Structure 1
């Protein structure tokens, strides 16, 4: 065999050795990733995080009326909402939260951003945001529905919270999860007892648990 053939044969085996080494490295990395994901999945199944609970403590309505002859609704209110993390070993990061009011399936206030941050095990956080909706365009039937509710003496306004959260287990933090909260605010109406002598006034009926979807 010539020297040229020997050199070619030697280089061929060198390439094979490098390919085998590369395959082993890739295989080892894949095994490491799979084992890591499996460990996280097992921990997740064992801990089974429970979604946070939300509670509407108060809703104070300063104004809730239509502009005469228009389909423009003005609603001004302050609400107090608390949330509790029921997990013993799992923390919660709230990355984005917006609160707004809904009446008859229509949003009637702009979104108010709530403070975000970390909620530890079994911790309780309380927010008391103001919700504003000045001359908000709504469908015509809402005016009729509001007149009916005022006549009945009871108003139902949903306080919604939408945002994103992450779970924290030890040093591991999950990806983002969407959270949607709906709190029913039952508000009583007193006719003709407003500050101007004929406008109705509103009083919060009772605190209520909220529906939470994560």
Structure 2
């Protein structure tokens, strides 16, 4: 009889170990591999980022507090009185021989002294003014030449009075339009003139180690001035300490 051979038993590759299950052949879940270092390195990097972010936030809070404490406020201006030394229409000099039928240009000869109160409302910052010039405007046209003023240093929360003479000192008449000249003569005859005092310059604020850069300043004060015609002069007002009607208002842009 022939020999019968049984099929060989599968080799046991896990002798003494655990048998292989189907679940062992499934891909692992939840396993991630870092290409940038170990878990400890990532934790140190996260801590450093958190500390840097905290320092940045703290510096921002400190800067905001310092800004709110030392933030300067724009200066305030007030006109308390004005003296009118001269205000009249004159005939300006012509540039050449006048043409036939041409009219000589109109001009205004004006001189004022204005008492101006400058207040620095900042309680912790001193103010420094430079390149100050003042002139007077009537109906949108300048009727005086710009008058230069000296530099000014102002303590915190203080007020100072300046009284520049504008248009005096033998300044040449300022050319104006015929409409402005006619309106000025009419207002002077009624005894009330609407004027605007303009102050230009630059300002900076200093508070301890902190200081701002120079900022342009533009202040304008609208006045309603009472004038009285002097005897024997046409369209002139030469009475100092002219009364101010209403409440003069000043606007300041910095």
Q: Do Structure 1 and Structure 2 share a fold, with TM-score over 0.5? A: yes
Equivalent position of 1:123 in the other structure: 158
Unmatched 5+ residue regions in structure 2?
1-57, 92-103
Residues 1:213 and 2:213 are matched in the alignment: no
> TM-score normalised to the size of structure 2?
0.63
Offset of residue 164 of structure 1: 0.3
Measured against aligned partners, the alpha-carbon deviations of 1:55-85 in whole angstroms (never above 9, x if no partner) come to: 1122111111111464111111111111011
How many residues in Structure 1 have an aligned counterpart in Structure 2?
181
Query: Structure 2 CA distance, aligned partners of 1:109 and 1:190?
Result: 20
Measured against aligned partners, the alpha-carbon deviations of 1:165-191 in whole angstroms (never above 9, x if no partner) come to: 011121221111111111123221324
Residue range with higher mean Cα deviation, 96-105 or 143-152:
143-152
Query: Structure 2 CA distance, aligned partners of 1:37 and 1:114?
Result: 40
Kindly indicate whether the alpha-carbon contact (under 8 Å) linking 1:93 and 1:165 is maintained by their aligned counterparts in 2.
yes
Match of 2:116 among 74, 81, 96: 81
Q: Secondary structure at the match of 1:182?
A: strand
Kindly indicate whether the alpha-carbon contact (under 8 Å) linking 1:114 and 1:127 is maintained by their aligned counterparts in 2.
no
> TM-score normalised to the size of structure 1?
0.73
Equivalent position of 1:11 in the other structure: none
Match of 1:58 among 81, 84, 91: 81
Measured against aligned partners, the alpha-carbon deviations of 1:22-73 in whole angstroms (never above 9, x if no partner) come to: xxxxxxxxxxxxx989865642234332111111122111111111464111
Q: Secondary structure at the match of 2:186?
A: helix
Equivalent position of 1:22 in the other structure: none
Which structure shows the higher strand fraction? Answer: 1
Which structure shows the higher helix fraction? Answer: 1
Kindly indicate whether the alpha-carbon contact (under 8 Å) linking 1:79 and 1:129 is maintained by their aligned counterparts in 2.
yes
Query: Structure 2 CA distance, aligned partners of 1:101 and 1:146?
Result: 13
Query: Structure 1 CA distance, aligned partners of 2:162 and 2:220?
Result: 15
Residues 1:204 and 2:242 are matched in the alignment: yes
Which has more radius of gyration?
Answer: 2
Equivalent position of 1:3 in the other structure: none
Query: Structure 1 CA distance, aligned partners of 2:233 and 2:189?
Result: 17
Query: Structure 1 CA distance, aligned partners of 2:198 and 2:233?
Result: 32
Query: Structure 1 CA distance, aligned partners of 2:119 and 2:234?
Result: 41
Query: Structure 2 CA distance, aligned partners of 1:108 and 1:82?
Result: 22
Unmatched 5+ residue regions in structure 1?
1-34
Kindly indicate whether the alpha-carbon contact (under 8 Å) linking 2:116 and 2:163 is maintained by their aligned counterparts in 1.
yes
User: Could you say if the C-alpha distance between residues 36 and 73 of structure 1 is closer, same or farther in structure 2, counting changes exceeding 3 Å?
Assistant: farther
